[in-house]
Structure 1
Amino acid sequence: MTTTAGISTDRLHAWEEHLRATYLDTGILPNALTLVYRRGEIVHQHAQGHADVEAGRRLQDDDIFRIYSMTKPITSLAFMMLVEDGRVALNDPVSSVIPEWAGLGVWAGGELGSFTTTPPGRPMRMVDLLRHTAGLSYIIQQGGRVDAAYRSLGVGAIGSNTTLDLFIAALADLPLEFSPGESWHYSAATDVLGYVVGKIAGQPFEDFVRERILEPLGMADTDFYVPDGKAGRFMPCYVLTPQGRALFDAQATSPYLAPPLFVSGGGGLVSTAADYLRFCRMLLRGGELDGARIVGPKTLELMTRNHLPGGADMASMARSTIAVSEESGSGIGFGLGFAVTLDPARALRAGNAGDFYWGGAAGTYFWIDPVEDMAVIFMTQLILSPDRVRDDLRTFVYSALTDSPTKPQTRA
């Protein structure tokens, strides 16, 4: 058996064969790139499938992906940088930055144009935006009248002809799903957080992200759009339908080929596996990479702890099956921008208490395990990609470990 950095490379090759036979050859996934990093080195990186199925272009290691909600940890980090700067606190009311939200009520009845509301139990706080307990909803949710209003108004749609200012104004006219802190509901909260970052920083949110995170980390291919010179490394995005895989967003006409009007802190970034690895390495090193200190280690420690009220897990607090179900959320908490494993046994999957992660709508996924000194990145471009792919990846990676430390490592 061949091992590198305490991982069986034979076992990781077995993952690639499983991935090919189960998901690529069957026509489910168009492509897949897996990157495994442990103890300071890339121990596995492999791209397979087609970046552009119709054109027959094979996936390359430096291709650019829509990472959608893998944007959320970056936006959350941007906010925490402002906390470190003393310009905002987690307990601050959101209305201190968005005064027009001071009177937001909780849905009590009616529909768009005739909502009735009741006062919330307490004001919405900044921490609620970071952990999805704000009472906000999402255009992708399908649960009720407030969700329907988001969809009807196109609130938070990537590629929409709106701006962050108009987005915030639209939400001021809609009720909350629930009183802040009562439930975990995957929402447009991180888009709101991007707006908050821009207002506090006194500059466009996207400029803050570039200047304070992307450029210092050397994430040269990560941005809110793909410039002309890099369009050849961008690809179509597909969607899984009952009739099979179909085209969702064509490369040639994608809204990501131009700077967006609506800069989405919740899902607007494109990136490469190599770029996102630099972000993960910074997290593994406690907020620093190659001399660039992004945040302090105690801030990152705070971000990766469970912040759900009462120490609850997502299964016990979730209001919908979007991003979490009773099964997948058991033993999983949520921090400030990341899901956090509380108990691998309750979660019914390999890992360690304290590993943290998130994924994107097109099937992208990453997790960081400080105990194992490891980061894993998975890239593809398929909306409604099966969740089982992520579970399979975890199984293969953890079963490939040939030595497992009992305490966190410091190398990265």
Structure 2
Amino acid sequence: MSIQPEVAPEQAGFDARRLARLDAHFARYVDDGRLAGWQLTVARDGRVVHSSVYGHRDTEAGLPVEPDTLWRLYSMTKPITSVAAMMLWEEGRFELTDPIAGWLPEFRDMRVYQKGSVSQPFTVPATEPIRVWHLLTHTSGLTYGFLNTSVVDALYRKAGYDTAGKPGADLAETCRDYAALPLLFQPGTAWGYGVSTDVLGRLIEVISGVSLPEFVRTRILEPLGMGDTTWSVRPGEPRMAALYVPTPDGRRVRFDPMGRLAYEEPEAPSGGGGLISTAADYQRFMNMLLNRGAGLLGPRTVGFMTRNHLPGGADLDTLQTGGFAETTFEGIGFGLGFAVVRDPVPARVWSSPGTFYWGGAASTAFWVDPVERLTVGFYTQLVPSSTYPLRSQLRQLIYSALTD
């Protein structure tokens, strides 16, 4: 299903000429070779104000980006998995303070890296168990192998976990492997991006009694009408965007070793980065969040998820462990599955306090601004996401187009 404008910009409080700057600005990224293509949606009060596409979903095949192009969400999967978990929370199936070892006993008696090398790491006992809220807020001490910033990251890679999972390992075995590795820090004491949401996906499976893809499909995707959102696509799917990486000369090159994973049924479905979707489908998910749950979650649950849950009310700049650039850190808190704007001034990019958002490894991004009743989705295909300042520039251009 494609996505089209539903209301004139002036009727929604936008200056149409200023909105047009968006397309001209991001077209330059394609014209000079930095991006292959992109898709953008801007909506207010749930009605699409601006929808545009540019460039190619597959440059080599000469296939343009179209309104129904399929994009790799990568970490924009995390909010969907977090919503799934909180649906179980609303049923009283767990408390946020519960240790996850009650369902995943492999996470009992965790160790925390203190010093040493990959060959001889020295660890100490965890002083606090990993609790459910630690998974939702990335304060668990779990990390990613591909970050390449610590000895613990290297231990993940040594165990077979880099940008992809270990061949032959399902989600249960994958989580047992994670539990056998040391934590990067004591749970609840810092913020570190990692496999927390993948473990959360396994927790959903054990508590619900069904697989993560089945739970997400029946409880979220089907009720919202997200029929194009899947964990893989058939080989040769023509709507699927290709994947690219930057070159030293500021251009890009196709990256099929990572891109072809979209055509394979995952052995360990990733709650942290596994979904493929369209702009129209993700707009439905954003509208649900803007409308405070819209029947999937209670409105107070969405409000609770989008508060800052970091210890002491700190921002990411205070608690982050480094090695990650999905978002700015200054003035940004983190809720239950989303980054949350506490104060836009320290980051020098406007958005309303209370705006919540996230992005994906292929430079995709979304945000929901409850104050302005605004949702934005940006979809593209360049890894890593930190290559260009696409997200901050989106905010500059979109907020400066508001006139009411």
The TM-score bracket by the shorter chain reads over 0.9
**In structure 2, the residue corresponding to 1:282 is in which secondary structure?**
helix
- The question of whether the paired residues in 2 share the 8 Å contact of 1:65 and 1:235 is answered with yes
Aligned residue number for residue 305 of structure 2: 303
> d(CA) in 2 for partners of 1:156 and 1:285?
37
Name the residue aligned to 2:333: 333
Q: What CA deviation, in whole Å up to 9, does each residue of 1:88-133 have, x standing for no partner?
A: 1100001111112111111123444643311222111110000000
Question: What are the superposed Cα offsets for residues 306-347 of structure 1, whole Å, 9 maximum, x if unpaired?
Answer: 00000100011111131367xx21000000000000001122
Find the aligned partners of 1:380 and 1:129 in 2 and give their Cα distance.
27
Contact map agreement 2:9 2:49 (CA 8 A) in 1? no
Partner in structure 2 of residue 36 of structure 1:
42
The one-letter code of the counterpart of 1:397 is: I
Task: Indicate whether 1:66 and 2:72 are aligned.
Answer: yes
Correspondence for 1:407:
none
1:126 corresponds, among 121, 127, 132, to: 132
Taking a change above 3 Å as real, the CA distance of residues 322 and 42 of structure 1, as seen in their structure-2 partners, is same
In structure 2, stretches of 5+ residues that fail to align are 1-7
* Residues 355 and 370 in structure 2, CA contact (< 8 A), matched pair in contact too: yes
SS at match of 1:43: strand
Amino acid in structure 2 at the alignment position of 1:315:
D
Q: Deviations along 1:149-199, whole A, 9 cap, x unmatched?
A: 112222264364221111111112211111001110011100010010001
Residue identity in the other structure for 1:207: E
Do structure 1's residue 213 and structure 2's residue 220 form an aligned pair? yes
For 2:48, what is the secondary structure of its paired residue? Answer: strand
Q: Please tell me whether residue 255 in structure 1 is matched to residue 256 in structure 2.
A: no
Structure 1: where are the runs of 5+ without partners? Answer: 404-412
Query: Paired residue for 1:232?
Result: 238
Select 1:109's aligned residue among 105, 115, 118.
115
Paired residues of 1:158 and 1:268 also in contact (CA < 8 A): no
Matched-pair contact (CA < 8 Å) for 1:314–1:324: no
The Cα RMSD (Å) is 1.7
Tell me the SS of whatever aligns to 2:42: strand
Query: In structure 1, how many angstroms separate the alpha carbons of the residues matched to 2:341 and 2:292?
Result: 18
Task: Quote the Cα distance in structure 1 between the aligned partners of 2:133 and 2:361.
Answer: 23
CA contact (8 A) 2:310 2:333 kept: yes
**Shift in alpha-carbon separation, 1:402–1:85, aligned structure 2, 3 A:** same
Secondary structure, counterpart of 1:376 in structure 2: strand
Equivalent residue for 1:323? 325
Distance 2:11 2:21 in 1: 15
Match for 1:141 among 147, 156, 166? Answer: 147
Q: Which residue of 2 aligns with 1:392?
A: 393
Given residue 174 of structure 1, which amino acid in structure 2 is its aligned partner?
Answer: L
Distance 2:191 2:286 in 1: 25
1:88 aligns with 2:67: no
SS at match of 2:346: helix
8 Å CA contact 2:149–2:323 kept in 1: the answer is no
Q: 1:387 to 1:301 in 2, by over 3 A?
A: farther
Are the counterparts in 1 of residues 166 and 174 from structure 2 also a CA contact under 8 Å?
no
**In 1, Cα distance between equivalents of 2:16 and 2:384:** 29
Deviation, 1:248, is 1.4
Contact 1:65 1:380 in 2 (8 A): yes
With normalisation by structure 2, the TM-score equals: 0.94
Q: TM-score, normalised by structure 1?
A: 0.92
CA contact (8 A) 2:70 2:276 kept: yes
Whether contact under 8 Å (2:326, 2:359) holds in the other structure is no
What's the counterpart of residue 348 of structure 1? 348
Q: Structure 1 residues 324, 377: closer, same or farther in 2, change over 3 A?
A: closer
Aligned to 1:182: 189
Letter of the structure 2 residue corresponding to residue 62 of structure 1:
D
Residue equivalent to 2:285:
279
Structure 2 CA distance, aligned partners of 1:268 and 1:118?
A: 33
SS of 1:108's partner is: strand
Contact 2:326 2:360 in 1 (8 A): no
Q: Secondary structure at the match of 2:126?
A: coil
User: Displacement of 1:232 after TM fit?
Assistant: 1.2
Query: 1:255 & 1:222 partners in 2: Cα distance?
Result: 16
Counterpart-to-counterpart distance in 1, 2:268 and 2:123: 28
Q: CA deviation digits over 1:219-245, x for unaligned, max 9?
A: 0000111136x8111121001132431
What residue number does 1:376 align with?
Answer: 376
Structure 1 residues 80 and 338: CA distance shift in structure 2, 3 A:
same
Q: Which residue does 1:197 correspond to in 2?
A: 204
8 Å CA contact retained: 2:109, 2:126: no
Please tell me whether the aligned partners of residues 128 and 134 of structure 1 are also in contact (alpha carbons under 8 angstroms). Answer: yes
Sequence identity (%): 45
Which AA in structure 2 matches 1:389?
A: L
Over 3 Å counting, the alpha-carbon distance change for 1:118 and 1:159 in structure 2 is closer
Matched AA of 2:380? T
Q: Which letter maps to 2:284?
A: R
Match in the other structure for 1:408: none
Q: State the SS of the aligned residue for 1:3.
A: helix
Which of 313, 316, 319 is 1:314 aligned to? 316
